[in-house]
C-alpha cells in the first residue's frame, strides 16, 4: 500500500535541532508572505478601487475572495498532505501564490484582480494548513511549544508590518499600489528555494485516489455559506428569500458532502476523526475563538481611524499591544509546555483571559485613552496567544500519525470559517447599529436614507463629527459585548478537554511505528 523514499529514512530518523531550524526558515518566510498578503492590501484598497474604477462591493470582494478561496481549500490541502509529498505540496502552494501575486500586480481591471485574489487565496490556504502539518511531522508534540513562539513572532511582524509597508508603497510615487502584490514574489521564491535545500521528510506515496467529488461539495457548500454571511445584512436582509436560498443550498451541499465522505475510501475530512473527543472539542473551540477574535478585532482599525481620528499608519501601530501580548504569551506558554509537558492549563487560562479582554473592550468609547486601550488589547492578545496554537497541539497529540494532516486542517478550516462568519455577521450588526444610532442623533437624512457607508470625516462640521465619532465608539463596544459570550463558550468547551501526556515522538516516527504495528497484526 505504501512506499517511502528520501531521507530521513523509513525508520523515522529524528531531525537534529539545527536541521529543524533550517527547515523552519523556509516555512517562516512562506508564512510571513501569506500573512503579509492579507494585511499589506488594507491601506492600499481605496487607491486600488479609485484607479480601477471599482465599486464599494468590489472593495469588499477583494478581501472576501481571498478569504473564501483560502478557507474552502484548507481541508483539501490537509488531505493531500496525508497522501503525497508535504515538501512538494508546500512548494506548489507557494508557486500558486507567486502566480496570483504577479497577475494581481499587473492587473488591467477589477475582474482580473478578483481572479488573482482567488489564486492567491488557494496558495495561502496551502501555506496555512501545510506549515503546521510539516512542523508536526518534524517535531514531537513535547517539543512543539519551543518552536510555536517563533511562528508567533513571524505572525506578529507580518501583521504589524503589512499595513505600514502597504502605506509606504502606496505613498511612494515610483512604486505605487501594484507593489503591494509584487512585494510577495521574491519572498515566495526565496521560501521555495530554502525548502528545497533544507526540508527533508519521507515521501509517503499511497496508491489511492483523492475524493474530488467530496472536495467539490465541501468547497461549494462552504463558499455558498460564506458568500451568504458576507452579503446578508448588506445586499439583502438577514431574514429574506436570498438567505433561505443560500443557507438552504449551502447546507444541502454540505449534507450531500457528508453522505459522499461517509462512503469513500479516502475522504477529504475523515468523519471518524470526530469520534475522537479531543478533536471534536478543539474543533468547536476553534470555531468560537474564530468568531470572537476575528469578528471583534477586524473592526478595531476602523474604530481607531473613525472614532479616535487616527491616520491609517497610526492605526496600524496601535495594534502593537495586542500583537505583542499574543507574541509574548505564545512564546512563554510554548516554552513552559515543552519544559513541563502540561498544556491544558494554558488552554483554560487563555480562554478566560480572552473573555476578560473582550469584556474590557466592550467598555470603550470615543473618549477612551490610548494607554487604557493598549492595556485592554494586550489582555486580549495574551489570551489568544495561549489558546490558538495549543488547540492545534492538543489535537495533533491525540490522533494517529496518518491523520495528522486531516486533524490539523480541520481545526484551521473551522477557525477560518468561524472568523469569516464572525467578521460578516458582527460587521452587519455594526453597520445596523451605526445606522440606527446616527438616525437617532442626527435624523434619517444624516444616514443617506439608511445606508451605513463610512463617512468622510474631513468633510464633516465639528458638531456632526463628534456625534459620528461617538456613534462608532458605542457601536464597536457593543460588538465586543456580543463577541464576549463566544469567548466564554470557548472557555466552557476547553474545560471538557482531557489532558493527555505529550508524545515524545515526531509525526514521522509515530507513522513508522504505527505502520510496523499494523503490518505485524496481519
What are the start-end ranges of the H helices in 52-140?
A: 56-83, 86-105, 110-138
Burial 240-266 (b: 16+ CB within 10 A, else e): eeebeebeebbeebbebbbebbeeeee
Instruction: Give the 3-state secondary structure of residue 117.
Output: helix
Average pLDDT over residues 444-473: 68
Task: Single out the residue in 210, 234, 257 at which a domain terminates.
Answer: 210
What are the start-end ranges of the H helices in 362-506?
A: 370-397, 404-442, 462-495
Q: Which among 45, 41, 40, 137 has a CA at the least distance from the CA of 84?
A: 137
Which of 1-5, 124-128, 314-318 shows the lowest mean pLDDT across its residues?
1-5
Domain presence at residue 200? yes
The answer to whether the CB of 426 falls within 8 A of the CB of 479 is yes
User: CA-CA distance, 236 to 246, in Å (whole number)?
Assistant: 12
Q: Which residue has the cell 512563554?
A: 332
Task: Residue 445: give its domain's CATH number.
Answer: 1.20.1250.20
Domain presence at residue 145? yes
**Residues 169 and 254 reside in one and the same domain:** no
**Residues 253 and 326 reside in one and the same domain:** no
Task: Single out the residue in 210, 228, 243 at which a domain terminates.
Answer: 210
pLDDT value at 261 more than 80: yes
What are the start-end ranges of the H helices in 262-369?
A: 277-297, 300-302, 312-318, 320-340, 344-361
Domain presence at residue 407? yes
How many Cβ atoms are within 10 Å of 470's Cβ, its own excluded? 17
Q: Which domain holds residue 87?
A: 1-210
For the four alpha carbons of 17, 193, 94 and 6, in that order, the dihedral sign comes to negative
Does 448 or 34 have the greater pLDDT score?
Answer: 34
**Residues 41 and 188 reside in one and the same domain:** yes
Domain presence at residue 522? no
Q: How far is CA 189 from CA 95, 199, 355, 469, in A?
A: 8, 15, 40, 44
Domain presence at residue 520? no
User: CA-CA distance, 214 to 267, in Å (whole number)?
Assistant: 7
CA 352 from centroid of its chain's CA atoms = 21
Residues near 155 by beta carbon (within 8 Å), at least 6 away in sequence: 31, 35, 323, 326, 327
In the numeric block, which cell numbers belong to residue 416? 477560518
CA angle 268, 38, 284 (to 5 degrees): 45
**Residues 186 and 245 reside in one and the same domain:** no
**Residues 199 and 215 reside in one and the same domain:** no
User: CA-CA distance, 411 to 75, in Å (whole number)?
Assistant: 9
Q: For position 56, what pLDDT does the model report?
A: 55
Under the banding of pLDDT at 50, 70 and 90, the label for residue 444 is: low
The mean predicted confidence, pLDDT, of the chain is 80
Domain presence at residue 492? yes
Domain presence at residue 515? no
**Residues 322 and 245 reside in one and the same domain:** no
Please tell me the total count of domains within the chain: 3
**Residues 258 and 310 reside in one and the same domain:** no
pLDDT value at 25 more than 60: yes
**Residues 412 and 360 reside in one and the same domain:** yes
Establish whether the linkage from the previous residue to 71 is cis, with ω within 30° of 0. no
The answer to whether the CB of 101 falls within 8 A of the CB of 181 is yes
- Which contiguous run of DSSP H or E holds residue 262? none
**Residues 248 and 306 reside in one and the same domain:** no
Predicted confidence (pLDDT) per residue in 305-339, tens digit: 788 887 766 776 787 888 888 888 888 888 888 88
Q: For position 436, what pLDDT does the model report?
A: 82
**Residues 93 and 41 reside in one and the same domain:** yes
Q: For position 255, what pLDDT does the model report?
A: 93
Number of H helices, E strands in the chain: 19, 2
Average pLDDT over residues 222-240: 77
CA 244 from centroid of its chain's CA atoms = 27
- CA-only gyration radius of the chain, Å: 23
**Residues 130 and 225 reside in one and the same domain:** no
**Residues 238 and 356 reside in one and the same domain:** no
pLDDT value at 302 more than 60: yes
Q: Which residue has the cell 501580548?
A: 325
Under the banding of pLDDT at 50, 70 and 90, the label for residue 471 is: confident
Task: Single out the residue in 265, 295, 310 at which a domain terminates.
Answer: 265
Domain presence at residue 517? no
Query: pTM of the predicted model, to two decimals?
Result: 0.77
Q: For position 490, what pLDDT does the model report?
A: 93
Amino acid at each position: 500500500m505504501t512506499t517511502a523514499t528520501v531521507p530521513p529514512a523509513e525508520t523515522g530518523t529524528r531531525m537534529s535541532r539545527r536541521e529543524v531550524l533550517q527547515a523552519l526558515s523556509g516555512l517562516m518566510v512562506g508564512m510571513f508572505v501569506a500573512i503579509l498578503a492579507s494585511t499589506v492590501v488594507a491601506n492600499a484598497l481605496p487607491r486600488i478601487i479609485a484607479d480601477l474604477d471599482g465599486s464599494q462591493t468590489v472593495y469588499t470582494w477583494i478581501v472576501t475572495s481571498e478569504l473564501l478561496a483560502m478557507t474552502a481549500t484548507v481541508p483539501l490541502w490537509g488531505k493531500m498532505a496525508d497522501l503525497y509529498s508535504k515538501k512538494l505540496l508546500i512548494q506548489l502552494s507557494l508557486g500558486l501564490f507567486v502566480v496570483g501575486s504577479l497577475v494581481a500586480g499587473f492587473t488591467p481591471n477589477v475582474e482580473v484582480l478578483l481572479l488573482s485574489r482567488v489564486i492567491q487565496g488557494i496558495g495561502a490556504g496551502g501555506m496555512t494548513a501545510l506549515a503546521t502539518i510539516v512542523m508536526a511531522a518534524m517535531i514531537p508534540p513535547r517539543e512543539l511549544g519551543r518552536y510555536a513562539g517563533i511562528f508567533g513572532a513571524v505572525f506578529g511582524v507580518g501583521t504589524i508590518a503589512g499595513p505600514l509597508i502597504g502605506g509606504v508603497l502606496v505613498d511612494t510615487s515610483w512604486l505605487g499600489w501594484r507593489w503591494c502584490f509584487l512585494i510577495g514574489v521574491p519572498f515566495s521564491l526565496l521560501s521555495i528555494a530554502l525548502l528545497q535545500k533544507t526540508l527533508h521528510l519521507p515521501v509517503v506515496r499511497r496508491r489511492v485516489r483523492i475524493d474530488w467529488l467530496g472536495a467539490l461539495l465541501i468547497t461549494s457548500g462552504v463558499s455558498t455559506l460564506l458568500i451568504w454571511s458576507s452579503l446578508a445584512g448588506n445586499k439583502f436582509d438577514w431574514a429574506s428569500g436570498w438567505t433561505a436560498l443560500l443557507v438552504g443550498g449551502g447546507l444541502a451541499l454540505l449534507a450531500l458532502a457528508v453522505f459522499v465522505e461517509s462512503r469513500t475510501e479516502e475522504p477529504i475530512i475523515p468523519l471518524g476523526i470526530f469520534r475522537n473527543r479531543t478533536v471534536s472539542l478543539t474543533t468547536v473551540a476553534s470555531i468560537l475563538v474564530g468568531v470572537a477574535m476575528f469578528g471583534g478585532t477586524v473592526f478595531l482599525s476602523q474604530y481607531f481611524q473613525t472614532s479616535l481620528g487616527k491616520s491609517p499608519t497610526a492605526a496600524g501601530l496601535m495594534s502593537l499591544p495586542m500583537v505583542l501580548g499574543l507574541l509574548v504569551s505564545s512564546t512563554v506558554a510554548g516554552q513552559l509546555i515543552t519544559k513541563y509537558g502540561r498544556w491544558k492549563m494554558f488552554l483554560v487560562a487563555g480562554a478566560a483571559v480572552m473573555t476578560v479582554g473582550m469584556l474590557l473592550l466592550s467598555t470603550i468609547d470615543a473618549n477612551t485613552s490610548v494607554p487604557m486601550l493598549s492595556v485592554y488589547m494586550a489582555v486580549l492578545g495574551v489570551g489568544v496567544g495561549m489558546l490558538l496554537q495549543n488547540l492545534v497541539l492538543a489535537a495533533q497529540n491525540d490522533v494517529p500519525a496518518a491523520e495528522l494532516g486531516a486533524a490539523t486542517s480541520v481545526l484551521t478550516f473551522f477557525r477560518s470559517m468561524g472568523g469569516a462568519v464572525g467578521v460578516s455577521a458582527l460587521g452587519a450588526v455594526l453597520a445596523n447599529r451605526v445606522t440606527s444610532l446616527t438616525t437617532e442623533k442626527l435624523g434619517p437624512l444624516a444616514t443617506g436614507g439608511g445606508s451605513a457607508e463610512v463617512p468622510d470625516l474631513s468633510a464633516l462640521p465639528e458638531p456632526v463629527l463628534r456625534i459620528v465619532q461617538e456613534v462608532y465608539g458605542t457601536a464597536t463596544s457593543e460588538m465586543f459585548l456580543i463577541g464576549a459570550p463566544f469567548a466564554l463558550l470557548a472557555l466552557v468547551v476547553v474545560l471538557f478537554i482531557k489532558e493527555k501526556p505529550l508524545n515524545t515522538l515526531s509525526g514521522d516516527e509515530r507513522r513508522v511505528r504505527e505502520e510496523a504495528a499494523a503490518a505485524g497484526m496481519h
